Structures are given as C-alpha cells and as structure tokens.
C-alpha cells in the first residue's frame, strides 16, 4: 500500500512539473488574480496593486448602489528572452497586457457573510509566438487577446478581514482559438478598515480540448499586494 501511495505521489509530481514546463514555453495566457471586492455599501471604492503570477495588476471596484458594483482591472507583464534568428542569438522583450471591466451584484448573508457575482470582458495583446506560425518570430509580432468572464464568490467581511472563495469561468481567445478555463481561487485581505494586505491562490484549468492548441497557459494563480478601501460603512 505504501509503495502504491508513493507511486501516485511521484506521478502527481511529474504531472505538476510538466505543467510548469509547459507554461514556460510559448506561454501566451497568464491568468490574473480574482478581483473579489466583497463590497458592503453604496459609495465604497477599492483600489489594489497586485504582483501576480506573471502579471503586475491594478484592480478597482466601486459600489454604485447597495447591491450593484462595477470593476475595472488592468495587467501588464514583460519578460526578456534570448531567441535564435538566422543562427544568431538575439535578446528580445515580450510584452503582455490586458484591460477588462465588469458589473456585478452583491448582497449580505447574515452578519458577516457575503455573496457576489461579477461578469464582464476585456481585451489585450500578447506575443504572437505561436506554434505552427508561417513567419520567423522576432519579438515584434503581437496578437489580440479577448476575454470574457463570469465570477461568483462567497465570503465573509469584517473590520479586520475579508475572505472569499469562488470559481471564475474565463473564455480566452488568441490566434483564433477559444479555450474556456475554470479558475478556482481563494483570497484573503488582512488589515484594518482602509488598508489591507492581499493574498490569493488558485488554479487555471482548461475545460475544452487543447490537443491542437497553438499557445500555452500558466496553470497557477498566485498574487500578493495591498488594497486601499474608502467609503465602507462599518457597523
């Protein structure tokens, strides 16, 4: 029994390492952390700076009523790589960017509990270093990325803590290929009233067939940052 258990652990480790290796080559989709604001009341405004897995993120949210909120998020990432062009090694900079917006509903569940669901979309650009391309990639070619998402979350909120968990469904289109991802994530915000530290962890799991996919994705979502919260009413 112990030998079988160790064998399963070894296979899971190899699978995990394979995912990480896959995400390091021709990676076009770096999932952002969830913006799960857990809004409380009309007039509340949040702005967060997040250093995520492969992304520098700016997240905002605003409650326009006691039950309706909006969000606008942006992410930016660049990396330096060496590639070989005509047998010569050249250093290039690859840039990824995305801006998205959404609208959602939020409500309280008892004393501390909260529920929210946001939906929206975004657009950005990625390096067009895809498999099966007919041109020599030199770092200057880019491709449009589009995104739509639905993100329900439940959590708790207090003067010192916001904690939420949810599954974002993201549809990502690049190089004329659409992949739908299920992205479960847990987020925690610790601090006091206006300033909080933020930590998030989750996964990005494809739901449709990726056998012929010409671009890779990062399967991990990890983020750390800080949030400024203004206008929340504490009871």
Residue 183 and residue 168: Cα distance in Å, rounded?
Answer: 5
Tens of pLDDT, residues 169-179: 999 999 999 99
| pLDDT of the residue at 235 | 65
Q: What value does the mean pLDDT of the chain take?
A: 88
**Per-residue pLDDT, 217:** 94
Give pLDDT, residue 225. 97
53: DSSP letter: T
- Whether pLDDT at 24 is above 70: no
pLDDT bucket at 8, cuts 50 / 70 / 90: low
Q: Provide the domain limits for residue 77.
A: 27-230
* pTM greater than the 0.75 cutoff: yes
The band of 25, judged by pLDDT with boundaries at 50, 70 and 90, is low
Query: What dihedral do alpha carbons 54, 44, 36, 143 form, nearest 10°?
Result: -40
- Count of domains for the chain: 1
Residue 12 is assigned to a structural domain of this protein: no
Whether 78 is covered by a domain: the verdict is yes
Cβ atoms of 34 and 168 closer than 8 Å: yes
Phi-psi region of 133 (alpha: psi -120 to 50; beta: other; left: phi over 0): beta
Asked whether 113 and 123 are in contact (CB, 8 A), the reply is no
* φ, ψ at 8 (rounded to 5°): -65, -45
Q: Is 16 helix (H, G, I), strand (E, B) or coil?
A: helix
* β pairing state of 45-52 and 55-63: antiparallel
Is 21 part of any domain?
no
Half-sphere exposure of 143 (CA within 13 A, CB side): 20
3-state secondary structure of 10: helix
pLDDT digits (tens, 9 = 90+) for 115-131: 999 999 999 999 999 99
Gap between the Cα atoms of 220 and 54, Å rounded: 10
Q: Where are the beta strands (DSSP E) in the chain?
A: 27-29, 45-52, 55-63, 68-85, 88-109, 113-127, 142-157, 161-174, 177-192, 195-203, 205-206, 216-217, 220-230
- Residue 78, pLDDT score: 87
Residue 202 located in a structural domain: yes
- 2 occurs within a structural domain: no
Q: Which pLDDT value is given to residue 234?
A: 72
Q: Mean of the pLDDT values across residues 130-154? A: 93
Q: What percent of the chain has pLDDT over 90?
A: 67
pLDDT digits (tens, 9 = 90+) for 197-233: 999 999 999 999 888 999 999 999 999 999 999 999 8
Residue 90 confidence class, pLDDT cut points 50, 70, 90? confident
* Burial readout 128-156 (b: 16 or more C-beta within 10 A, e: otherwise): bbbeeeeeebebeebbebebbbebbbbbe
The verdict on residue 176 lying in a domain is yes
* pLDDT tens column, 50-82: 999 878 999 999 999 999 999 999 999 888 887
Q: What is the DSSP letter of 208?
A: S
Residue 15 lies in a domain: no
Model confidence over 34-47: pLDDT tens digits? 999 999 999 999 99
Residue 159 near residue 192, CB atoms below 8 Å:
yes
The CATH number of residue 85's host domain is: 2.40.128
Percent of the chain with pLDDT over 70: 89
18 part of a folded domain: no
């Amino acid at each position: 029994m112990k030998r079988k258990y160790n064998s399963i652990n070894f296979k899971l480790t190899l699978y995990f390492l394979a995912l990480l290796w896959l995400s390091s080559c021709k990676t076009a989709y770096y999932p952002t952390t969830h913006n799960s604001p857990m809004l409380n009341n009309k007039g509340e405004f949040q702005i967060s700076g997040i250093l995520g897995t492969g992304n520098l993120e700016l997240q905002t949210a605003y409650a326009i009523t006691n039950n309706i909120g909006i969000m606008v998020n942006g992410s930016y990432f660049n990396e330096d790589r060496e590639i070989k062009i005509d047998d010569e090694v050249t250093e290039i900079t690859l840039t990824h960017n995305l801006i998205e917006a959404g609208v959602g509903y939020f409500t309280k569940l008892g004393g501390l509990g909260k529920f929210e669901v946001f939906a929206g979309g975004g657009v950005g650009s990625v390096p067009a270093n895809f498999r099966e391309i007919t041109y020599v990639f030199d770092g200057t070619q880019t491709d449009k990325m589009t995104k739509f998402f639905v993100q329900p979350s439940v959590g708790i909120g207090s003067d010192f803590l916001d904690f939420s968990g949810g599954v974002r469904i993201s549809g990502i289109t690049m190089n004329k290929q659409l992949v739908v991802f299920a992205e479960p994530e847990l987020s925690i915000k610790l601090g006091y009233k206006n300033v909080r530290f933020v930590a998030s962890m989750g996964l990005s799991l494809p739901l449709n067939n990726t056998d012929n996919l010409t671009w890779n994705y990062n399967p991990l979502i990890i983020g750390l940052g800080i949030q400024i919260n203004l206008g929340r009413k504490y009871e």
